[in-house]
Chain A
């Protein structure tokens, strides 16, 4: 099945800093989503972005499908941005399985 690698695994930043999180995937995709898992375990949808660029406030994301990677940018970090960020994909050649394959996540800590 498709493989998803996220980097870095851990990131500690001061409030106000900017960050870039990366997601590499091993095959063509027809679904790519970024999630933020808050300390209570809830997966919050950030972006549905199988290709192209989107922005939502301080967050933006870019997926370059032909090169099999996606980037999540967080600007002017706030302590509430802390948590785990997951990239999840569905590959074209999934053999009929339409479930998302998740990476292991990036654990982000924003210090005041």
Chain B
């Protein structure tokens, strides 16, 4: 596609429920990143994929968070047993090459609200 696409745009869920957030990167982009942005803060890194594998998941806050990218394109961020503190905007980004010295492009984000 022309840009990074994230669905849904907004998600409201009850505490304790399971949610999945989808990211469709720019076509042909090898690297894919997930970030989380809380109100009034800059985005914080969660996980980074090179192709199908998670190259770095050091930013995931705990084991309730998991992400997959089974075919090296679309990625899904999965959150189990959601808590009110998980409420934030979840951003996905992609870049054309693996490695740090490559420009990243962001989607519009999914606003998750846990009630």
Contacts and interface: CB of A to CB of B under 8 A. Distances in A.
Interface residues of B, number: 29
A98 B48 contact: yes
Contacts of B35: 99-100
B45 A50 contact: no
Interface in B65-115: 89, 91, 93, 98-106, 108-109, 111
Given A31-B100, A43-B91, A104-B42, A96 B108 contact: no
Contact of A99 (B59, B89, B98, B105): B59
B42 A99 contact: no
B14 interface: no
A107 B69 CA distance: 34
B36 to A, nearest CB: 11
Contacts of A88: 42-43
Contact of A97 (B43, B45, B93, B98): B45
A99 B33 CA distance: 7
Contact of A41 (B44, B48, B108): B108
